[in-house]
Amino acid sequence: MQPIKTTEETKHLSYDVVIIGGAMIGAAVAWFTASNPDFAGKILVVEKDPSLEFSSTSRTNSSIRQQFSNKTNILISQFSAQYISEFKQYMENDPNVPTISFRKIGYLYLANNHIDCNILKKNQQLQLSLNTPTSIMNAEILSEKFPYLNVADILTGSFNQHNEGYFDAMTMLNCWIRKAKEKGVEFIKGEVKKLEIKSKQISAIVLSNGSRIQAGNIVNATGPRAPILTKNTHFNLPIEARKRFTFLFKCATSLAGELPLVIDPSGVHVRSDGNQFLCGFAPDIDKEVAFDDFTVDYQLWETKIWPILTHRIPAFEKVKLVNAWAGHYAFNTFDQNAIIGPHPEITNFFFANGFSGHGLQQSPAVGRGISELIIHNKYINLDLKSLSPIRLIEKKPFLERAII
């Protein structure tokens, strides 16, 4: 990862847009705003750790799917898939922008009871209506198509390969940062400690070194830390840092074809990653953790995850663990979906938070959406209003059944 230039000085005392957090979401907002021909202002991105080492972005599995149960999430990922595939064109055909690698291996959800089967079937109907060609397969078809899978206890699978798989998000992020800088966006190292509020608007941000910077619009792109800055705005973001483990392993036997991202009924998910395999899981007790807690529970691999994997794919009896890491989801405890849009009262303060494990793939649509709110005061290309924070006040959850 190319570190963000580590100056702590800003060129100006005042900016039209200040983005707090310079990882995937902050960089997306910076690029989409700076590259919009209707925007002529100054943009500052403040990032406390320019190495991004502990950000969710650096710990991700980089997967993208269309198999959601909510129309908005499907449309968001459809745009992302198109954006990834046509990245060079979207980046002004810059010869220095590479094609983004996008391995379309597909996602396969497995269900072992009638309730979950019906959910998959219902989701498929919605996906088909939006031109995502998901297939529902019974155990017989599954074992023909994926002969390495044990489907003895499986009733139904839901599979789609069109625009689902994994992509090179880090190259995308680096291009957004580099190109945003070329358009004059400033990236500084700094930690925002305080937001100054005057007449229901944020007037300035204050950094930990005491610097005060005036801001026209402010974007909260601080990942799992999002609630910290929001505290003194009389609005609580229901977001917690929740740990997720990733285990990377090699298998002695090769499978027939690339393994799609398989979501086992237990919640364990595994996919091929080049000639290795990448598996993800939540801790047994899924609770809020400290921001610096990245310890990996290797026992979980031995006692729980590996047995589940070998039950599902017997070839995984012979594997070698290559690497493992923990990362933090910005987990929205209200409805496990992104919170996008202006603060209910402080209308120059925008949230792009609470992605609960699918923010990487949502970054193009969210970057574009927030830039439209800043520039046009409304969504132009894709309406993201159903993700607005207003739903928290109205206590109306954004319903999405397909959460991984």
Ligand X SMILES: Cc1cc2nc3c(=O)[nH]c(=O)nc-3n(C[C@H](O)[C@H](O)[C@H](O)COP(=O)(O)OP(=O)(O)OC[C@H]3O[C@@H](n4cnc5c(N)ncnc54)[C@H](O)[C@@H]3O)c2cc1C
Sheet holding 261-263, edge to edge: 135-138, 156-160, 107-111, 261-263, 269-273, 276-281, 239-251, 319-332
Residue whose entry in the numeric block shows the structure tokens 């979980």: 300
Burial 276-308 (b: 16+ CB within 10 A, else e): ebbbbbbeeeeeebeeeeeebbeebbeeebbeb
Q: For residues 338 and 355, is the Cβ–Cβ distance under 8 A?
A: yes
Distance in angstroms (rounded) separating the CA atoms of residues 113 and 108: 16
For ligand X, the closer CB: 136 or 273: 273
Interface with ligand X (CB under 6 A), residue total 38
Q: Which of 10, 17, 29, 59 binds ligand X (CB under 6 A)?
A: 59
Helix (H) or strand (E) holding 177: helix 169-182
**Segment 171-210, which members bind ligand X (CB under 6 A)?**
191-192
**Segment 5-24, which members bind ligand X (CB under 6 A)?**
20-21, 23-24
Residue 25 sits in the site that holds ligand X (CB under 6 A):
yes
Bridge-based pairing of strands 319-332 and 239-251 is antiparallel
Residue 32 sits in the site that holds ligand X (CB under 6 A):
no
For ligand X, the closer CB: 151 or 277: 277
Residue 346 sits in the site that holds ligand X (CB under 6 A):
no
Residue 221 sits in the site that holds ligand X (CB under 6 A):
yes
Residue 62 sits in the site that holds ligand X (CB under 6 A):
yes
Stretch that binds ligand X, among 30-38, 304-312, 327-335, 370-378 (CB under 6 A): 327-335
Residue 355 sits in the site that holds ligand X (CB under 6 A):
yes
Q: Which two tokens stand for residue 172?
A: 């995308």
Q: Which of 157, 341, 359, 367 binds ligand X (CB under 6 A)?
A: 359
Distance in angstroms (rounded) separating the CA atoms of residues 71 and 124: 11
Q: Which of 31, 48, 331, 387 binds ligand X (CB under 6 A)?
A: 48
Bridge-based pairing of strands 192-198 and 339-342 is unpaired
Q: Which of 55, 72, 127, 134 binds ligand X (CB under 6 A)?
A: 55
* CA proximity to 247, closest of 275, 268, 224: 268
Stretch that binds ligand X, among 61-69, 119-127, 145-153, 379-387 (CB under 6 A): 61-69
Q: Which of 357, 364, 367, 389 binds ligand X (CB under 6 A)?
A: 357
Q: How far is the CB of 141 from ligand X (least distance, A)?
A: 26
For ligand X, the closer CB: 57 or 67: 57
Residue 77 sits in the site that holds ligand X (CB under 6 A):
no
Residue 47 sits in the site that holds ligand X (CB under 6 A):
yes
Q: For residues 159 and 259, is the Cβ–Cβ distance under 8 A?
A: no
Residue 271 sits in the site that holds ligand X (CB under 6 A):
no
Residue 290: which region, alpha, beta or left (left: phi > 0; alpha: psi -120 to 50)? beta
Residue 372 burial by CB count (10 A; 0-12/13-18/19+): exposed, middle or buried?
buried
Residue 26 sits in the site that holds ligand X (CB under 6 A):
yes
Q: For residues 150 and 312, is the Cβ–Cβ distance under 8 A?
A: yes
Q: How far is the CB of 60 from ligand X (least distance, A)?
A: 3
Interacting residues toward ligand X by CB under 6 A? 20-21, 23-26, 46-49, 52, 55-57, 59-63, 191-192, 221-225, 229, 244, 246, 327-329, 355, 357-361
